[in-house]
Structure 1
Amino acid sequence: MPSALPDGEPVPADGALPAAALAGAADRPLAFYLHVPYCATRCGYCDFNTYTADELRGSGGAAASRENYAGLVEQEIRLARKVLGDDPRPASTVFVGGGTPTLLPPGDLGRMLDAVRAEFGLAEDAEITTEANPDSVDPASLAALREAGFNRISFGMQSARRHVLAVLERTHTPGRPEACVAEARAAGFAHVNLDLIYGTPGESDADWRASLEAAIGAGPDHVSAYSLIVEEGTRLAARVRRGEVPMTDDDVHADRYLIAEEALSAADFAWYEVSNWATSPTARCRHNELYWTGADWWGAGPGAHSHVGGVRWWNAKHPGAYAQALTEGRSPGAGREVLAAEDRRVERVLLELRRSAGCELSLLRPAGLAAARRAATDGLLSPAALTDGRAVLTLRGRLLADALTRDLVD
C-alpha cells in the first residue's frame, strides 16, 4: 500500500458506514485485502507502507510485531463483520499483500484467511492469493500455504539480471524466481504470477528481453510488468538526485513496454489490463479486476484502503497506531471520504479504460466523447469498439493511456 495517506473526514469509532453504502450490497462482489507490513530489508525503490525490524524497534511498533500480527488482523476482520452486519456475501477473492507476507509463518497467513472464512465464508471458486519474495519461501512453506487454502501466488521477480536487481536492492539471486514457479506448481498452486519491473537505471534492452525470456520460460500463467517510478523519499530517488544512477526517460519506458507486448503475445499471453498479461481468462487476477470495476473490498492492516458502496476509507499507517486502535476496541480507520456521483464516474473511466474490455461511452460527457472520436482517428482507440459503444485502447493508446484518460474524463 502507498506510504502517503490522503486527508479525509474522521471514521466513526465503531467503523459504522452510512446506510446508503450498504444499499444494494448483495448485488456487488466482496473482496478482502490483507496487508502484511513487514520486510526483511527495504528495497531502494519502495515507497509502500512497509517496515523492517529496525524501523519498528523503539517506535511503538512492538504492539504489532510479527508474532502477534495475525491476531490483530483477525480482530479487524471481526470488526468488518460487525460493520457489514448481516451482509450475506461470501468473499469472492482474498489477496494478502505487503511488504513480504511470507515473512510470517504459513500458519499465521492461514489464520488470517480462516478469519475471513469464519466471519464471511469463501465463495466456492474463491481466488486466494499471497505475494511472496523468492527468497522467503521454500517447497515446505509453499506446500503449507497451499494446505491453508491459498490457490494463487505472486512472486516479485523484477529482473533476471544481477546488476539490475542490485540497483533495485532486491535480495534474491537470478534464477530463484523461476525455481519458485516450479516449486509452487509442485505444491499444487493453480495460478502463479511473476512481477517484473522495466526501466531500472542501467538496464538495457537486452537485459529486459532476458528478463522476459526467463519469466516466460518459467511457466507462470500470469505476468505483470510495471514501469519503474522513482518515488520521492526513496533511496533510489536520492541516488538519482546525486547523479549516481541515470533517470530512464519516457521513450525508453515506451520501448520496453513494446518489447514486453511482443514477447508476451508471442508466448500466448494476452493483455487484459495495461500492465497485466494472462494465458487465459481464468488466469487473470480476479482480485485486481474487482478493484478496476468498482466492487466492494475491505482492506485490513496498517495503511490498507477499503471501499464499500462509494465510501472509501484508510487505516492508520503505523503498525503501532493500528494495533492500539484495535486493542482499545476502536476502528483503525484514520480517515474516509464519501464519493460523489461525479467522483465515481471519473474513477470508472480512469480504471476501466486501462482494461482490454475498455469503458462504456455512456460514461463520457460530450467533451470526452469528442476526445474519444479524435483518439480513434489518431489510432489511440479502436474505431470498431467505438462503434459498439466502448472506448478500447489500441497498442499505441496503451502507451499514452494516462494522458488520453485525462482527455476522456472532461
Structure 2
Amino acid sequence: MPDALDATPYDALLLLSFGGPEGPDDVVPFLENVTRGRGIPKERLKEVGQHYFLFGGVSPINDQNRALLDALRKDFAEHGLDLPVYWGNRNWAPYLTDTLREMAADGRRRILVLTTSAYASYSGCRQYRENLADALATLRAEGLEPPRIDKLRHYFNHPGFVEPMIDGVLRSLADLPEDVRAGAHIAFTTHSIPTSAADTSGPVEAHGEGGAYVEQHLDVAELIADAVRERTGIDHPWRLVYQSRSGAPHIPWLEPDICDHLEERHAAGVPAVVMAPIGFVSDHMEVLYDLDTEAEAKAAELSLPVRRSATVGADPRFAAAVRELITERAAVERGQEVTPCALGALGPSHNLCPVGCCPARAPRPAAAGADSPYA
C-alpha cells in the first residue's frame, strides 16, 4: 500500500464544470440555464442549439467529466490520497447546488474545488465562484450549515497540464504528410472573450494588453512551441488565435478567429496548420464544432492540410497534477512551507483570488476568494 498522503484540513474534492445536454430534449432547457436573465427568445435558442443537434443533442463534456472522475479516483487510490470526489455543474445535472447539498448531508465541512478551466478570467474563474456563492446561499436559506470552500489555483502552467498538450502537438505534426510537416504552422486556440473582460482578468499594467488571460495563454503556447522545437529540431512558427465568439458584433472580442487565421496563413503560403486547443481541458462541444467542424471545413475549402491536437482530458498526468495541487494547497493551509510546481515565466498562480479579481459588470458575491462572504 502507498504511504497515505495528507489532505487535511480538506475532506472532499468537488469537480465543478459547465455541464451540457445529454439528449435532444435537453438542448433548449440547457441553453435557457446558460442564458438565464438575458431575455433570449426560445426560437433563438433553438437556432443556437443546432450545434448540439448535429451531435444528437449530446454534449461530450459530461462523459469526459465522468472519465476524469474515474482517473482522479484511480490516481488517488494508487497514491494513498483518501479524499472522496464529487461532481457538480453550473448549467446541467448534476447541478452544483444539489451536489453541495449532498456533500453537506455527507458531513463534508472543508471542500476543495477543481474547475474545468485552467486560466484566469471572469467566465473561467469568478463566474464559477459566483455560482458557488449562490449555491451556498441556497443551503443557508434551507437551514443547512454551508461548508467552507477553497478553489485550487490556476493550473495552466503545471507540468501535468502542459506535457500532455506537448505530446498532442507532436502527434499531430507527425500525422501530417511528410512534404508539409516541416513547414507547418501551430495555431494555439482558446475561447475568445470580450477585450474588456480580458483586460480585467489582471491589470494591463501588470500583464499587458489582454490581461492575465492572454498572458497566461501566451506563456503556455511558448512552453509548448519550445518543447516541440527541442524534440523535433524544427522551429515551427505559431500564434495564439481565438474561437467560439458569441457576443454582439459591435463589442470588441479577442482576435483573430481561427477560420480567419487559416485563410491568412493559406494566403501567406503556409503548407499546413496544427490547431492546438490549449484553452480547453477536454474535447467538448466548442472543440468538436468550432475546430473539428467549422475550422476543418474552412481548411478543406482552402485545400490546406490541418490536424487538431488533443486536449488534456483524463490523461493520467493531469490526474496526478490535481493530486499534487491538492496536497500542495493542504500543506499551505496547515502552515507548512511549500514550493509550488509551475513551468514557464509566470510562476505559480495565487491560491486566493484577490478582492475585485476578474470583476463582473454588476457586483455579485463570490465564494472561495479574499472577498468571500463564506470564510
More strand by share: 1
TM-score category by the smaller chain?
under 0.3
Q: Which has the higher contact order (CA 8 A, sep 6+)?
A: 2
